Structure 1
Amino acid sequence: MTPATSVTPVTPVTPVTPVTRVAAIDCGTNTIRLLVADLEHDPHGTPRLTQVHRDSRIVRLGLGVDRTGRLDPAALARTLEAVSEYAEACAGLGVDLASGHGRFVATSATRDADNREDFVDGVRALTGLEPEVVSGQEEARLSFAGSLLGAQDRAPVPGPGLVVDLGGGSTELILGDQAPLSAVSLDTGSVRVTERHLAHGVTPRAEDAARAEVRALLAHGAESVDLGRATALVGLAGTITTVTAHALGLERFDPEALNGAEISTEAALASCEAIVHSTPAERESWGYLLPGRRDVIAAGALVWSEIITCVVQATASGPHPVTTTVTSLNDILDGIALSVGERI
């Protein structure tokens, strides 16, 4: 008689994707930021980032660049000091920047500076990385890619959304769904508008001139990006998080409250108006507003208010009028980190 054979069922094993630690550095007109994260892919191939370390410093690399066309020596020194500390942080967290596991992206201020090579040479010497002075279109692509990480946790919208990355020297408008459909980079932002129009305060004449300039740029941008197609408005970066924090009545910078926060366009515009006409004492009392952003936040809020107004008007008669803004803390820095994985 043949003995019975016991068969043990085989449990399917979910493939384990390797985890790669990567570093991303984003150097803009006002701020330099570092993200160290563990990058992996889920079973469907969707990339995931687990934050290990994040840092942000206001160095104002773009100080005076709009007027002089050159990087200020003191601003350059401040920025390179931060770069040196970031290189040390990466080494301490196990990221060899020179091995291809890091990417350094510089944007508007460096694009506009005649002496950008001084900055590039300094970064290369400190990190072993070749810093990339990216175009406005690449900046837009990276910002959109980063914003998609936050979109994974948001309710889907019935059509393409408009992602706005409002920086110090440039502002990117990107229309897209799972990928950009169209994008434009505009030479406007919190530092540029401050230096051009609001350096001596927000007077009626200065405010009118600033708004006129921003509206003209938006009209030009609308030739490339059809704002009327937007079914959602998603904002990235420091100005927009500040406006949202003000609208929510926060006492301090609270990532959990801010990331994915949805507020009405009316509330956003009211906060923009309050910030544009705020006093130094009011700005100092806002715990969510860093000291290095206090002197440029009025200009940033002015730009954001013009964008909101333009989008609301462009979508008002369509099937999906935009009535809210969404704030995302996932932005170009996350997009840079994801792009490292694409290169490894």
Structure 2
Amino acid sequence: MPEPTASVCMAIDIGSNTLRVVVARCSATDFEILAADEALVRIGESVNATDTISPEKQALTISVLKKFQALAKEFEAQTTLAIATEAIRKATNRADFLQAIQRETGIEVHCIGGDVEATLTFYGATYAVNKLPQPPSQFGVMDMGGGSTELILAKNAQISWHTSLPIGSGWLHDRYLQSDPPTADDQSTARAFLRTYLTGLNIKSFPSVLFVTGGSANSLLLLSQRAFKLDDSVSILTYEDLLRCEGLLWALPAEEIARRYQLDVQRARIIAAGALILTAVLETFHLKEIHISSFGIREGLAMVYCREGEQWLQRAQQQAQVSQQTSQQLIADRELMDSTVTYHDDFVSTGRRLFQERAETMLSWRDEVLSQEDSEAVHKMRVASRRLRAVMDAYQSVCDPQKFKVAYQQVRELADILGPARDTDVMIENLHRQSENVSLAQQQGCEWLIQQLTNYRQEHQRKMEQYLQSLKDKAFLRRVMACLPEEEAIHGKG
């Protein structure tokens, strides 16, 4: 039974994909969840597109928070705690958003940094870990959110290393997997990004046990249970389970996945990205399975408040600093500093090779696009541009910010001008196929639409040719390669 001094608090997590709440009765030594709820708002979708939180997302967020307040009132919660994470951190109108929430609901939302986010996640996840019959002495915790992923390594129930990765299921979906279901090209590009990015983390030793929290991870567990008859009492997903999920998610559109397996349709759209991230993690760190936990940052927030009271944020920040120092000391104790520098050199050298290869491959299709002899040339050049962007995404952290922005924008412009051409070609091709099996009247309608699309395609071809003819190979390559440090700078020469 809870202690007599236990209080009831409501803890809210405003994430990039989802708003979640837990109402708990807790004290310094006891914790009991009374209620929980969530709503998929996808604030990150707006931020990824425009760098701002749209009025629609703000209004929806405030509406959801008012519903959460009704839940708190039902359980007579004395305290409301609220935090916001990656998408809100990145939004240029963050201050206005948080002020609007406080004005409309009275809730003060703390926009926390990645280090504090990792610390609170660890507290929540280890609550579940400690319930195991034999808790592992070393394990990892991964909170896969919509806009970021917190990765934490622990030894003897203490954080030994952590990092906040600016990638999440919503971010990966919006960046690479917008087709429904994702195409093979989309999958290949996203995998290339994840493989490059995770390799660049240079984690020398990874524990064999990994606990994963977050909405997409829990939805993938639910999908496995419903689609593949996974035991409901088991909260483990193997590498093979994730591959089966991928196969299903690549084959069916989101609405069909949602209908067949009773999932929220918006969640069904983004869990393909979650599956890609998890399989990439297992492949990179040679893991066979992951443990899915329903406990995460909101439970960690409530627990810290129960122990620390009104000083919860300061204490979480202090613990994050201690964890950071411990992580740095661990590296020093293992004498990895020199090898880390060497690895960074190798990583950047590999980046220069990949940047050049991907850029040259993209440019190699220009003449065929201009000649119009190969109808697939536009598609191949567009795919090549997206693969170049994927590598640039993975190396952004070691690039010169201003030079990266200029080069990345040019690659993006090229993809944007190739996109309508390719999409129109696909529509015309599909209409030709459909017209073979319809009535005469329908054929006439198809022919009219084909002619309209053909006219548009020819007009767009002129715009595309003008852009491609102005694209100078050598200047473009120099601009892309200038993003990364020179070889002399890498090796300390000259």
> TM-score w.r.t. structure 1 length?
0.81
Partners of 1:342 and 1:272 lie apart in 2 by 41
Q: 1:241 maps to which residue?
A: 218
| 1:33 maps onto 2:20 in alignment | yes
User: Highest CA radius of gyration, 1 or 2?
Assistant: 2
Partners of 1:324 and 1:15 lie apart in 2 by 35
Higher strand share: 1
Q: CA deviation at 1:157?
A: 5.2
Q: CA deviation at 1:60?
A: 1.4
Please tell me the residue identity of whatever aligns with 2:48: D
Q: CA deviation at 1:273?
A: 3.9
Please tell me the residue identity of whatever aligns with 1:311: F
Please tell me the residue identity of whatever aligns with 2:68: Y
More RCO (CA 8 Å, sep 6+): 1
Alignment map for 1:285-300 (pairs within 5 Å): 285-300=259-274
Tell me if structure 2 keeps the 8 A contact 1:250–1:288. no
| 1:102 maps onto 2:80 in alignment | yes
Distance 1:91 1:245, change over 3 A: closer
Q: 1:325 maps to which residue?
A: 290
Partners of 1:232 and 1:288 lie apart in 2 by 30
Q: 2:59 maps to which residue?
A: 77
Tell me if structure 2 keeps the 8 A contact 1:170–1:185. yes
Distance 1:29 1:193, change over 3 A: same
SS of aligned partner of 2:27: strand
Alignment map for 1:172-183 (pairs within 5 Å): 172-177=150-155, 178-183=157-162
> TM-score w.r.t. structure 2 length?
0.58
Q: 1:194 maps to which residue?
A: 173
Please tell me the residue identity of whatever aligns with 1:139: E
Instruction: Say which of 286, 301, 323 aligns to 1:336.
Output: 301
Please tell me the residue identity of whatever aligns with 1:142: L
Partners of 1:84 and 1:342 lie apart in 2 by 27
Q: 1:304 maps to which residue?
A: 278
Q: 2:185 maps to which residue?
A: 205
Distance 1:284 1:16, change over 3 A: closer
Q: 2:89 maps to which residue?
A: 111
Residue deviations 1:264-309, cap 9 Å, x none?
3322333234334433354123435212212212112111111121
Q: 2:99 maps to which residue?
A: 121
Q: 1:11 maps to which residue?
A: none
Residue deviations 1:197-239, cap 9 Å, x none?
111342222222211222232223x33x54x331201111121
Tell me if structure 2 keeps the 8 A contact 1:251–1:286. no
Q: 1:147 maps to which residue?
A: 125
- CA-based RMSD: 2.6
- Give the % identical residues: 25
Which shows bigger deviation, 138-147 or 265-274?
265-274
Tell me if structure 2 keeps the 8 A contact 1:26–1:333. yes
Where structure 1 has 5 or more consecutive residues not aligned to the other structure, the ranges are: 1-13, 42-46, 313-321
Q: CA deviation at 1:84?
A: 1.9
